[in-house]
């Protein structure tokens, strides 16, 4: 028996990534899988259909893909137009954001689709690290955020001594010391900026120092980690104390990069409009959490760069991995291939809900909606 893997062309505007790249197709074929690729699925990542044909994949029209594929691989959640094309027993694999759109998953369950969402994968499972798509994409987002900030900032990031005088290094603050935050810190440091990091989890201090950056101390603001390595939700008084403390310090920095994103939930508000007023004209703020549910910075909008009245550039950058589609797709495809190697047994996909990885990531099964037990 041969399992057909169908690589879906992304439908969301501005999404250029593809779930499977040619480099991983030999690995999927070694599993006994046939790989079908929807026509032009990889063009946003500069991967023409011919690149897939060369490694044994078969480009097909969308209708044929949905008809023949046993497993559908995607990056983002399917659109309302795509769901009716799916059939009972098909397995859908991607970063499906099940907490954001319950109606979508009720529709998938009604059609009998078995949905597996990589963004529910527990980071505490060491054997699942190769499948951790959130981490691979967050690392890219943090890297790109520092480049976006440097491009928008009207001065040098490093200290430069020239015949015309000395340019001081940019002062960069990174809020949130997860994967994206550490990547942003490392990149800003390599660009020559003086970097400070901040997170409400006190154990992140050592991680910031290990990157050669300083840790921002906010008196009276410290919260232990919650489940899965994330900070627990702040109480109203803790949130107010954090915002007030940040407001007093944020004017010290030329560039602020915010990275506090909670999958499926509204991002915490870290930087208020009042705090932005305290920044110098020409400063830059990049909000990696900007999206439909808000962001870390008051007034940020996804995929928009605005110059607010006080001369501060505010950039909503909620989908930076898509702007690096070739690299982001390559990393994500390795995550997908690792999951499929775990999922496909004896030539067929097996959703063993007693397995801790699948128990955490399977969202719909047997016509029912379920949310896995893994903490993110």
Report the CATH number at residue 258: 3.40.50.720
Looking at the fold, whether 66 and 206 belong to one and the same domain comes out as no
Q: Residue ranges of the alpha helices (H) in 153-283? A: 179-190, 204-210, 236-249, 273-277
Mean of the per-residue pLDDT values of the chain: 91
Q: Give percent above pLDDT 90 in the chain.
A: 78
What pLDDT does 162 receive?
82
What pLDDT does 41 receive?
98
For residue 134, being part of any structural domain is answered with: no
For residue 98, being part of any structural domain is answered with: yes
How far, in Å, are 87, 238, 260, 303 from residue 306 at the CA level?
Answer: 44, 30, 21, 10
**Residue 147 belongs to what domain range?**
140-322
For residue 344, being part of any structural domain is answered with: yes
Looking at the fold, whether 30 and 104 belong to one and the same domain comes out as yes
Picking from 69, 63, 38, the residue whose alpha carbon sits closest to that of residue 349 is 69
Looking at the fold, whether 97 and 15 belong to one and the same domain comes out as yes
**For 331-342, what is the mean pLDDT?**
97
User: In 10 A of CB 114, how many CB atoms?
Assistant: 22
For residue 374, being part of any structural domain is answered with: no
What pLDDT does 222 receive?
59
Looking at the fold, whether 105 and 155 belong to one and the same domain comes out as no
Query: Are the beta carbons of 90 and 72 closer than 8 angstroms?
Result: yes
Query: Are the beta carbons of 325 and 9 closer than 8 angstroms?
Result: no
Query: Are the beta carbons of 34 and 6 closer than 8 angstroms?
Result: no
> pLDDT band at 91, cuts 50/70/90?
very high
> pLDDT band at 84, cuts 50/70/90?
very high
Looking at the fold, whether 300 and 333 belong to one and the same domain comes out as no
What pLDDT does 202 receive?
86
The predicted model scores a pTM of: 0.92
Looking at the fold, whether 340 and 275 belong to one and the same domain comes out as no
Query: Are the beta carbons of 184 and 174 closer than 8 angstroms?
Result: yes
Instruction: Kindly report the backbone phi and psi dihedral angles of residue 48, in degrees, each rounded to the nearest multiple of 5, phi listed first.
Output: -70, 165
Looking at the fold, whether 153 and 298 belong to one and the same domain comes out as yes
Angle between helices 133-152 and 179-190 (to 10 degrees): 40
For residue 131, being part of any structural domain is answered with: no
- Residues 6 or more apart whose Cβ sits within 8 Å of residue 147: 187
> pLDDT band at 376, cuts 50/70/90?
very low
Looking at the fold, whether 302 and 331 belong to one and the same domain comes out as no
Q: Which helix or strand (DSSP H or E) is residue 350 part of? A: none
Looking at the fold, whether 104 and 145 belong to one and the same domain comes out as no
User: In 10 A of CB 345, how many CB atoms?
Assistant: 12
172 DSSP β-pair partners: 195, 255
Q: Picking from 66-70, 197-201, 313-317, which range would have the lowest pLDDT averaged per residue?
A: 197-201
Looking at the fold, whether 179 and 255 belong to one and the same domain comes out as yes
**For 164-184, what is the mean pLDDT?**
95
For residue 249, being part of any structural domain is answered with: yes
For residue 125, being part of any structural domain is answered with: no
Distance of CA 227 to the CA centre of its chain: 19
Query: Are the beta carbons of 223 and 238 closer than 8 angstroms?
Result: yes
- 137 vs 234: which has the higher pLDDT: 137
Number of folded domains in the chain?
2
- 235 vs 26: which has the higher pLDDT: 26
For residue 356, being part of any structural domain is answered with: yes
Coil/strand/helix, residue 349:
strand
- 273 vs 162: which has the higher pLDDT: 273
Picking from 149, 179, 71, 140, the residue whose alpha carbon sits closest to that of residue 326 is 140
**Beta-strand pair 165-167/160-162:** antiparallel
Residue 216 sits at the vertex; the CA angle it makes with 214 and 217, to the nearest 5 degrees, is 125
Looking at the fold, whether 165 and 281 belong to one and the same domain comes out as yes
pLDDT of residue 374 exceeding 60: no
Picking from 300, 299, 248, 239, the residue whose alpha carbon sits closest to that of residue 270 is 239
Looking at the fold, whether 218 and 316 belong to one and the same domain comes out as yes
pLDDT of residue 164 exceeding 90: no
pLDDT of residue 268 exceeding 60: yes
């Amino acid at each position: 028996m041969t399992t057909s893997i169908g690589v879906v062309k992304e439908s969301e505007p501005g999404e250029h990534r593809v779930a499977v790249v040619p480099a991983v197709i030999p690995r999927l074929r070694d599993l006994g899988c046939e790989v079908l690729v929807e026509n032009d699925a990889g063009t946003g990542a500069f991967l023409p259909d011919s690149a897939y044909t060369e490694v044994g994949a078969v480009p097909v029209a969308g209708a044929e893909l949905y008809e023949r594929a046993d497993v559908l691989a995607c990056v983002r959640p399917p659109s309302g137009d795509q769901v009716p094309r799916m059939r009972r027993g098909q397995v859908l694999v991607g970063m499906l954001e099940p907490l954001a759109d319950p109606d979508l998953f009720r529709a998938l369950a009604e059609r009998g689709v078995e949905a597996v969402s990589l963004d529910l994968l527990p980071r505490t499972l060491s054997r699942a690290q190769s499948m951790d798509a959130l981490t691979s994409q967050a690392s890219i987002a943090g890297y790109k955020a520092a480049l976006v900030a440097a491009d928008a900032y009207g001065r040098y990031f490093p200290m430069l001594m020239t015949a015309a005088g000395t340019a001081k290094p940019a002062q960069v603050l990174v809020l949130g010391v997860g994967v994206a935050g550490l990547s942003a810190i490392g990149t800003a440091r390599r660009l020559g900026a003086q970097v400070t990091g901040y997170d409400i989890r006190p154990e992140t201090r050592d991680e910031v120092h290990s990157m050669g950056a300083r840790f921002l101390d906010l008196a009276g603001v410290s919260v232990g980690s919650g489940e899965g390595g994330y900070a627990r939700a702040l109480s109203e008084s803790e949130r107010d104390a954090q915002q007030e403390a940040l407001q007093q310090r944020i004017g010290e920095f030329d560039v602020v990069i915010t990275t506090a994103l909670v999958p499926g939930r509204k991002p915490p508000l870290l930087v208020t409009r009042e705090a932005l007023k305290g920044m110098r004209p020409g400063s830059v703020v990049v909000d990696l959490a900007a999206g439909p549910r808000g962001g870390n910075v008051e007034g940020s909008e996804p995929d928009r760069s605005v110059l607010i009245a006080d001369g501060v550039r505010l950039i909503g950058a909620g989908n930076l991995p898509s702007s690096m589609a070739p690299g982001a797709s390559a990393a994500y495809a390795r995550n997908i291939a690792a999951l499929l190697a775990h999922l496909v047994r004896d030539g067929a996909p097996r959703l063993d809900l007693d397995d801790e990885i699948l128990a955490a990531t399977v969202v719909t099964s047997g016509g029912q909606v379920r949310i896995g037990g893994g903490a993110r």
